[in-house]
Structures are given as C-alpha cells and as structure tokens.
Structure 1
C-alpha cells in the first residue's frame, strides 16, 4: 500500500490497515461477516442450504432476503413486512432503493400478479452477448446443435498453425457467457454448453462453430423464459433423471441429466459428466439417479429452511445405499418415466428440433403469453 500524501520519512516502515479495503482478498469475507451480523441482529437467519438466503419468520409471516455481495432482493407477502426489513437495514447501512425487482444480475423478472405468474428470462443479456460476439445479424437457427452431434478432442488443433488461428477466437469468453445464461434460465442448452466447456484448453474450429451456433439459437429464442405459476398453491417436487451411456467418445464417460420441477417449472437442472466410467447402461442410470436424489434432498432442505423449520433429519451419503435409504424413509419415490415424457432427455444428448421443442414446452420454458 502506498504511503498517504503528506507523510514523510516512512520509507522503511510498514502500514497497518485498521479495516479491510475494497479489492483486498480479505475484503469479501470481512464484508460478509459485517452484513451477516446485522442480519442476525434484526432477526434474519441464513438458510442452511444456501448461506446467502436469509429468512425472518414469526406467527406465519415471513420475510426473505437474497444477498449477492452488496445487492439484495427483499421479498414478503406485504409491503409492510418489506418496509420493516428495509428500515432496519437503513439504520445500519447507506442504501439505494431501486423499487420493485425487474432486473438483477442479468436476469429479467416479470411478476404478473393478476395472472399469478413470475417469469425469469435473459432477453437483454442475450442481446448484449450477441452484440459482443458480432452475431447480431447472424442467421437464426431452431436447434442449438445438430441431432446426434458428438464433440471430441480429435477436433482440437494439432499443429502450431491451427493453434495460432484459434488464438483470435475468444472461445473462453463465449463459453463463460453461455454458461451463465444456461445456469440461470436456459436448461434447453445445458447439454451442448456442458460439452463445449470440455475444450477450453485447446478448442478447435468445430468447437468454435458449435458455440456460435448455440448463441445464434439463443438469439432466435431470446424471449423464452421460465414461468412459475402460483394458481394451484401447491409446492410439489417432481424430478426427472436420465443418462446417456458412454457418450463421451474420448474417455467413454456417461452424461447425467437431471431436472427438478416445482409447479410445472424447473428450479434445478444439470447436465454433468459422470466421474467414473459406467460398465453398463444400468450403472449409468443409477449414477444419474444418485445425483438427482442429492439435488432433491438439497431442494427439500431449502424449502424447509424457507418456512423456518430448522430441524432437518440427517442422511447418509453412502453411494450404494443412498437411494434405497431415502426411498425407505419416504423422502423420495422412484417411478419409471417413458422416453417420450422424459424431460431430462434434453440434458443428456443432442436432440432433433421437434423433440427439443416438445421438451422445452413441457419443462415450462416458454415466452410470456400475449396480453388480451
């Protein structure tokens, strides 16, 4: 740290900081400890399933605060409950109010109280990424990848000339943008983006073209989003899991796909390579089911936290008995879902346009209905 102006004869002296300064590695931790202490003081407690979600509840009324560094969303049934939390925070910090949440961290939030729906989408973010990579005039496509497409290391550069040619392509930046869009609101591109992220170290022309195609697809479907419906008033978890056995041509690892739905819309979705090589399709499906069960238990714990139930049963993470234990305890039930209705299918393989459209619609991912 530079010596402040006006201090002389301090060439061989050390400066001791009395508090954290923005940019230091300790600053983030110091800030979180500070705001966490304030939250606890005003009656908010952090959820065990997610330390950045805080809940305040008493006599059937709840207020929620979702924290991301120094940005936050406050939610409650009434404005009075929201104002109570805001006033308590204003007594501790200098705050800037931005009104009802419409946009946060690249995600647009459209809350239609008359229809009882809440939609999350990333139209603006997709437009920004499209312009950043000069694809604003690119031809639209109706599928993020060709049906049955496989990407391999064999398509990576093998000569210095090929590697030099790829240095002009901002592949890592593009994949980073696609991963963020995928994680927030777009499970329909999760499979192909997961595939593309394998080649960050040595991408080839085919990998670059495949990534650009995903961006062109997002551009043509930028108004799609996840629509949550509160009309039925039920909170019921439904989870779908699937596996594509030995689909990685480089090491023959399988792909697990899971999607967890609440009220007909996804809240958790993943496309993930399995850590070990499955020796059969049944073993691959079992590994995918383990991943799905773990995510169901996390989601269940999160829902319990949100209604202030602090005592949750412990569970054993033993690989071979994990699913059986939770079925026996009536925590989860396992049912067969036919291929036609398997929503996780789009998270494990490259599908044709007709099949993808069906699964996207069935997963609650659609544009906002037209107003009449």
Structure 2
C-alpha cells in the first residue's frame, strides 16, 4: 500500500507499506472495490443510473440493451442478445477473477424460476424459510391462515418486570428469529411486513406474549413457505397503493404508514412503518402515509425511466377522500397548519403532474395488509394483488 497522507517518513517517500490485515477488514475496501468496478464499466461505455449507483446500463445502436446489477461481488446481467452478454462476461473475466454460473437460478438466498411459455418470472425463498423453521423448531408446527391475528395486542406493558421472567426470556432467541423473518420480509414476502414491523418494536425487552406473536408468524410461514413473488401477470406499469392505521401503536399512539408498489403484476417495493409524530385525525395519518408513498413512487418512476421504461401516467391509490382533498387543495388551513411542512411537499408533486393521487375503495386497497390485522378473505385478496402465489397458480 502507498504510505497514508501525513505519515510519510523523510527520505523514504518512495517506499510502500506492507499490508498485514486482509483487504476485507479495511474500512475503505468496499469503496475501493466499487471505484475499480465503476471505472471498468465506464471504460466499456456503460452508464451508471443516478437512481441506483449499482445498476449500469448500455444501449446499443441497434436498439438492444444490457443491464448489469452489482451487489457487493455478485452480479446479475440482463439483456436481449446472448452474444453481447457473453462478450461482456469475457471482458469482465479479463479484469476480475470471476465465475460464470450461467442463467440466473439463485441469488442472495432467492431462487429465480422462469416460465418462458407464459412469460412469467418467480422469486421464491422456500429453502431459506424451511431452514429458518427448522432452526427454531417450527418445521412441524400447525399452520395458520394469517400472520398477525387481531387478538394480539402487543405493548411494552407485556415486557418482563420480574428477574425470573427476564432470566427466562434471555433463553429465548427472540432477536435472532425476528432478524431471520426480516430478511424474508425484505426480499420476497410483503405479506408479513406489518407483523414483523410490530414484533421488532420489542427487541430490547421481549416478553412471553411477544414471543408467541413471533411463533405465530413462523406458523404462518409453515403453511405458505412455497409461495413465490410472481411477475408477468399484469401490464408492465408502476402502480402504487397507500394506507394508514390510526393510532395503531398502543404505547406511543403513533399511526402506521404503509405502501405497496407493484409492477407487471408483482410487488417491487413495500413498507410498514410507524409515523414520526402522533396524528390528530385519520385524515392526517392518511396524508402523511400518502406523502411517504409518493417519495418512493417518484424514485421508482425515475429508476424505470433510466432503464428505458416509460408509461403514460403514474397513479398512487389512496382510500381516504379527505387526505386526497387535503393533498390537492391548501384549504382547511386551521385544521392542517400543525402538520409538518415536509408532508405538504406532496402538493407540489401533484401540481406538477409528476404523479396522480386517486381514490380507491377500501375493499380494493391491497396496502391494507401493511398497516393492520385483516380477516382471512381480505388478507388473501391483498396477497394475490401483491403477486404472491402458490406454485400451482
């Protein structure tokens, strides 16, 4: 290594330092790796997308394209011409030690399957979920139909107070189980987002009832482990749904914001999150949720445009007529002036016609499962709308 700036020894400026620590252990290692890879891609006339700096695109004169996605040192390459993809792989192998694993079948614990006849693509984490169930001795548990039933009313009051209770709970792998569920939730399972969000609030002091809720989620996964996120069942259009649950948190009385964004029949982005402030009305809670969904929708819109995917209009669906009215009109100032200025940003977005906010009936709002416990029938509807299907479907 070159001598660090400010540590050069007089008369020995031309010497280099001997590196005793492995490269992976250095703070600058990821940055240096990315800079090296970025310079290679620019050299071969690939453009980095501004929306995601780990996605590179190259368009050829004949109208074809190649998209390369980098995740640390794993790569996915998408293109229309296999010869051009092979050429890129050869160039990569000249500069980097790499393995060509052929057509993508697995990445980051997700299995990828294609049905070329019906033009569908599926993402599944069945093997990962099975490992998690086995790890926590839930592989033979009795399945349940929903991940978070209404009889669970979790709060910090259920945390252990006596020493013996605290000692018993230290033997329970609560944090480990919630962390394992989070990875499934982030990758392919939007249906457990709300449930995992609730149980993750008690990581510091989990109680017996909190652990029962985690086991219930695992029981739900026991019955739905074969489900996969399916794309290709709808038009290649970006469609957003937003919802809020008023004062859902029993401790702080904060509301929960949720959104679900789909593309080509499958969910591509989802979130269930406690709002930063206590909402004073359902209108305010829905208005804040719509603003958060709007931010994500705009990013997804820009990202798709950089990949060359344009559409006529971008619609975000909300089931609150009053929140839609508030986002389009600065009326009722006395009732809304206390709302943080940052949430009024949605008005500028709608005025500039970057997005459209439209009313949807509550029964058709698939983001409902992001904010609250639902009956089985409504829950299954939301799940299907998000593109989560059984293998036979």
Deviations 1:269-323 (A, max 9, x none): 11111011111110000000000100100100110121299xxxxxxx9624422
Q: Look up the match of 2:392.
A: 369
Q: Look up the match of 2:111.
A: 108
Structure 2 residue 165 is the aligned partner of structure 1 residue 162: yes
1:58 is displaced (CA, Å) by: 2.6
Q: Distance in 1 between matches of 2:105 and 2:246?
A: 41
1:55 is displaced (CA, Å) by: 1.2
The secondary structure found in structure 2 opposite 1:355 is: helix
The alignment's TM-score, normalised by the length of structure 2, stands at 0.84
Q: Distance in 2 between matches of 1:308 and 1:361?
A: 25
Q: Look up the match of 2:58.
A: 56
Q: Distance in 1 between matches of 2:117 and 2:20?
A: 52
Q: Greater CA deviation, 107-116 or 55-64? A: 55-64
Q: Look up the match of 1:214.
A: 217
Distance 1:148 1:56, change over 3 A: farther
Q: Look up the match of 1:319.
A: 342
| Maintained 8 Å contact 1:119/1:368 | no
Q: How many residues align structurally?
A: 348
| Maintained 8 Å contact 2:366/2:381 | no
The secondary structure found in structure 2 opposite 1:243 is: strand
Distance 1:20 1:188, change over 3 A: same
Unmatched 5+ stretches in structure 1:
1-13, 310-316
Q: Look up the match of 2:249.
A: 248
Deviations 1:116-172 (A, max 9, x none): 000111101101111111111111111112125321101111121111101111111
Deviations 1:303-359 (A, max 9, x none): 0121299xxxxxxx9624422212122211111111111111000001122221121
Q: Greater CA deviation, 30-39 or 281-290? A: 30-39
Q: Greater CA deviation, 323-332 or 172-181? A: 323-332
Q: Distance in 2 between matches of 1:45 and 1:17?
A: 34
1:267 is displaced (CA, Å) by: 0.7
Structure 2 residue 355 is the aligned partner of structure 1 residue 332: yes
The secondary structure found in structure 2 opposite 1:22 is: helix
The secondary structure found in structure 2 opposite 1:174 is: helix
The secondary structure found in structure 2 opposite 1:30 is: helix
Q: Distance in 1 between matches of 2:163 and 2:58?
A: 59
Unmatched 5+ stretches in structure 2:
1-15, 311-339
Q: Look up the match of 2:381.
A: 358
Of residues 121, 125, 129, the one that matches 1:126 is 129
The alignment's TM-score, normalised by the length of structure 1, stands at 0.89
| Maintained 8 Å contact 1:52/1:68 | yes
1:369 is displaced (CA, Å) by: 3.2
1:217 is displaced (CA, Å) by: 0.8
Q: Distance in 2 between matches of 1:64 and 1:148?
A: 47
Q: Look up the match of 1:11.
A: none
Q: Greater CA deviation, 28-37 or 169-178? A: 28-37
Q: Distance in 2 between matches of 1:33 and 1:320?
A: 36
1:101 is displaced (CA, Å) by: 0.8
Q: Distance in 2 between matches of 1:263 and 1:75?
A: 17
Q: Greater CA deviation, 74-83 or 284-293? A: 74-83
| Greater length-normalized contact order (CA 8 Å, ≥ 6 residues apart) | 1
The secondary structure found in structure 2 opposite 1:96 is: coil
Q: Distance in 1 between matches of 2:307 and 2:79?
A: 12
CA-based RMSD? 2.0
Of residues 18, 34, 43, the one that matches 2:45 is 43
The secondary structure found in structure 2 opposite 1:327 is: helix
